[in-house]
Amino acid sequence: MSLAVAEMRAAFPAFAEAGGAGLHYLDNAAMTQMAAAAMAAVEHHSRSARANVRRGLYALAERADAAYDAARARVAAFLGAADPAEVVFTANATAALNLAAQALGAELGPGDEVVVSRLEHHSNLLPWLLLGRTRGVTVRTLPLTPEGGIDTGALAATIGPRCRVIALSHASNVTGAVLDPAPVVAAARRVGARVVLDGAQAAAHLPLDVRGLGVDFYAFSGHKVFGPTGIGVLWGRQSVLAGLPPPWAGGGMVEEVAGESLVFAPPPQRFEAGTPPVEQAVGLAAALDWLTAQDRLALTAHQRRLTAQLLDGLAARPGVRLVGPPTAAGRVPVVSFGLDGLHPHDVCQVLAECGVAVRGGSHCAQPLLAALELDGVVRASFAPYNDEDDVAALLDGLDAARRLLG
């Protein structure tokens, strides 16, 4: 299956702007470019339905309500959710994971345990560590495999009878390794623990069926799936959401307040206090509609070819240390590596001067980098609008960095 990259790029206005034609954008793990369909949806909503949602009785507000409800339903369909009410809109994946941690943490205390892994992004690590400080929860850590994945073989030794939550990345933002949630879910069910998956790096690349995954919560961000910034999603199993208290309060999340008593609204409203990100939700839904309409198998095959091309190019160069699986299989199209004797930031600066946009550093995964005994890595990440020229430009830029920096 081939992919018409020129047609794909035409769906993203960034590549038509001044300088866009010469841009080798390989920082998609941090933020994808925004699809024209998402931009158009945000603009149309802002022009024709800009009003606050919930309880407005005039036509503009009714259009806003309809657009917001439709966006939730479309996100639910993308995830394979049983009910749109299982979709909670947040500011981003970080906010979604914090919401899950605080809501679940309200029921936890000293002696309870949360299991994470060594490769978690800080967004799926720090909220649980904070529970250790505020609630006395013990945080246990799963080790890594030599290929940079989560060692699910250590589940039995790590998960004890007091485990209440297992919070892991569906795909690593550094190694790219993809987690098979099945053994995690099985281990969690044996002790009655909840499973939270950070899908920030997976949502754009893997087919999702949250019911089939068997997890209790799934989080991702709009800006990593070709949508706007300022919007994220926490999917939660309805039976679980209904029993959790909201971690913050405000307008729109209660059914009744009388004196000091209050009755929370049902999910998802109880978790969306205040004015929600309506325009962003509309844009996210349009971005997911665009993604769903593509040939996902062709997208995956295309990005896997680019990943393999880059891995081969890195392997042919001396002094390159690859982080993560050695092949394109078993990973999302994220490739991180170090160059012996060169600081990642210096390499990224040279690449930027060559028109190649990548990211260098710890990538908000300091425990992982410490385990790998690295100060930082260069990370390249692909999207459907990338092609072989982008890979060649990156490899040429690395050669230039070696010549210039020694």
Give catalytic residue positions.
Answer: 364
Q: Tokens 């307008």 identify what position? A: 251
CA dihedral 129, 130, 136, 142 (to 10 degrees): -10
Cβ-count burial 249-274 (b if 16+ within 10 Å, e if not): eeebbbeeeeeeeeebbebbbbbbbe
**Contact at 8 Å (CB) between 53 and 61?**
yes
Q: From residue 116, how far is each of 77, 140, 373 by CA, in Å?
A: 28, 6, 20
Return the closest-CA partner of residue 194 out of 103, 299, 62.
103
Report the 10 Å Cβ neighbour count for 77. Answer: 15
**What is the pairing mode between strands 87-90 and 232-236?**
antiparallel
Report the 10 Å Cβ neighbour count for 362. Answer: 17
Return the closest-CA partner of residue 104 out of 134, 76, 75.
134
Return the closest-CA partner of residue 104 out of 165, 191, 162, 184.
165
Strand ranges for 206-343 from DSSP E: 217-221, 232-236, 254-258, 261-264, 320-323, 334-339
220 vs 197: CA distance, rounded Å:
9
291 vs 180: CA distance, rounded Å:
23
**What is the pairing mode between strands 377-381 and 163-169?**
unpaired
CA dihedral 59, 61, 66, 68 (to 10 degrees): 160
* 117 DSSP assignment: E
